[in-house]
Structure formats: C-alpha cells, structure tokens
Homo-oligomer: A and B are copies of this chain.
Amino acid sequence: MIRRLTVVGLGLLGGSVAKAARERGLAREVVAVGRRLESLAAARSERVVDHVTTDLGEGLAGADFALLATPVATAEGLLPKVWQAAAEGAVITDVGSTKGPIVRCATALAPQRGLAFVGSHPMAGSELSGYGASRADLFDGALVIVTPTELTDPLAVKRVSEFWEALGCRVSAMDPEDHDRAVAAVSHLPHLAAYALVEAVVRLNPAFFGVAARGFKDTTRIAASDARVWREIFQSNRAALREALAAFRTSLEELERLVVEADGERLEMRLEEIRQLRSRLT
C-alpha cells in the first residue's frame, strides 16, 4: 500500500495511472502535479486525485511513491528537483519511451540522497493525448518494461514491479540500452515512417488523400500522435533511431530493387517470408 502517490504530469498516461490507482485502491492518497489547471481541476472534481498543485516541491512533499508522466526530456529535466523534494526512502519511476538518458541521470543523482529510481515503460498508449483521453483500463494486460541497472536497489525494483502488476500489467525487465534499441525498431521507427508517409502524399499531391482507404489509415494512425511527446522521444533516442532508420532504408532499397528488376519470383518469395514473420505477431 502506497501512503502518498504523486503523479507528475496528468496527461494520457499520468491520468490513466491516477484513475487506475484510485479504482484499485493502490494508494491512501493521490496527488497530481501539472501545468494545466483544467486537467488538474477535472481530476480533482472527479475525485481521481485528492490534491492538485502546479508546484513540484509541494506535490512531492511526503510522497513515498512518485511517477513522472511528462514527455521524456521534460522528465529528465525535472529529475534533479524531484530528487530534492521527494520524501526520504521514496521510490520514483516514470513512463517514458526511452530509458537510457533518464536512467543515467538518476544514476548520477543517486549518491545525493537515499532515493531509488527505477525506469518503467508501459507499452500502452494511444494516438490520443491529454487527461481527457485517459482511462482506468489503459494498462489492463499491457506489458511494462522496467529497466534496472546493477546499481538499482532490488527492493525498489520489486516495489515498482508490484505497482504495475497491481494496475493489471505484465512486467518484464530489460537493460536500458537494449530497451532503447528495441523500441527504436518497433515503435520509434514506425512512428517516424508514419509521419513521413503522410508527408510524402502532401509532397506528391494532397488530392491523393481522397483515395486513401483503410490500409493508409491504419498505417498512419500513429502519425496523429502528440507532437511534443514524439519530438522528445525521437531526440532522446536519436542514436538508436538512426540505426533503425538505416536498416529500414536498406530494406526499402532491396525491395525496390526486386520490384524494378522484375524478378517476380524472388519478390514474391521475399514478401511471403515477411508476411509469415508478421503473421506470428497477431
């Protein structure tokens, strides 16, 4: 049981954690820290949270469990302040899509005070954003990757894992750098590709959108995601994203070569191999 849970950033993810924690009675008290007074006021009047504030220090005072749910680079920037403001012995986690930078930042802060940071990445989301889109069931059955290092307190890892499990998630641990390379490939690259697919149509002829069917809509759905969130993710995971982009370019070039060479048999074999790989995912 958490005594005081402080959620910093009450958007889609922070709001969903607050709602799920309240619904499941995970914390005696839930406090929200945010910049937008409307979201905070809505959460307060819906009794999703007990206290709201725009002041980070005030919000974290006495918190034994803190969740950073702002965009990734913002969370990193807040971490030194969080380290000063949180209660002694508090456990801090986050929801960021990249883990290397914030984990390194926490490692640097660790000697200052007896707090523990464990990186978390819930693999759930939506192209929608903001508190208005948050839902108590957003994390139901989702995979959460926690990213401890060899310096992380095992008790803190246990508390964070139990927190997510109590919200209905499956938890799996990964090294922060391995995590960042993996999500660059299966999440950040597809997002960048979706943005580029939409932009390519504008570049060719915006009238072409008129014949867009379900295939285009599904493939580019994630290009309707929050621009601020994705700006910070792309920049935070720059190196791994570039590695994934290079692999993607090679794959595109090879497929284009097979199309151009009119080697129908080889092209079909390659497409069939990919189809079978993709089919295993569903």
Residues of chain B contacted by A124 (CB below 8 angstroms): 213-214
Contact of A219 among B190, B211, B231 (CB under 8 A): B190
Decide if A1 is an interface residue (CB 8 Å cutoff).
no
Q: In the complex, are the beta carbons of A123 and B213 less than 8 A apart?
A: yes
Contact of A195 among B209, B235, B274 (CB under 8 A): B274
Q: In the complex, are the beta carbons of A198 and B234 less than 8 A apart?
A: no
Q: In the complex, are the beta carbons of A227 and B275 less than 8 A apart?
A: yes
Q: In the complex, are the beta carbons of B208 and A235 less than 8 A apart?
A: no
For the complex formed, measure the closest distance between the CB of A239 and the CB atoms of chain B, giving whole angstroms.
10
Q: In the complex, are the beta carbons of B182 and A211 less than 8 A apart?
A: yes
Majority-rule SS of A interface residues: helix
- Give the segment of A111-119, A149-157, A252-260 that binds chain B: A252-260
Q: In the complex, are the beta carbons of B219 and A123 less than 8 A apart?
A: no
For the complex formed, measure the closest distance between the CB of A135 and the CB atoms of chain B, giving whole angstroms.
14
Of chain B, the residue at the smallest CB distance from A203 is B247
Contact of A248 among B200, B212, B241, B254 (CB under 8 A): B200
Q: How large is the interface on A (under 10, 10 to 19, 20 to 34, 35 or more residues)?
A: 35 or more
For the complex formed, measure the closest distance between the CB of A43 and the CB atoms of chain B, giving whole angstroms.
25
Decide if A202 is an interface residue (CB 8 Å cutoff).
yes
Contact of A228 among B143, B252, B268 (CB under 8 A): B268
Contact A209:B186 (CB < 8 A) given known A181-B204, A259-B241? yes
Q: In the complex, are the beta carbons of B212 and A271 less than 8 A apart?
A: no
Taking Cβ atoms with an 8 Å cutoff, the residues of A that contact B are 123-125, 142-143, 145, 174, 179, 181-183, 185-187, 189-228, 230-232, 234-235, 238, 241-245, 247-252, 254-256, 259-260, 262, 264, 267-269, 271-272, 274-275, 277-282
25 contacts between A and B (CB under 8 A): A181-B204, A181-B205, A185-B204, A185-B208, A186-B212, A186-B213, A189-B200, A193-B197, A193-B219, A193-B252, A199-B255, A209-B280, A209-B281, A217-B282, A218-B218, A218-B219, A218-B222, A219-B219, A223-B275, A227-B275, A231-B267, A235-B259, A238-B259, A245-B256, A249-B249
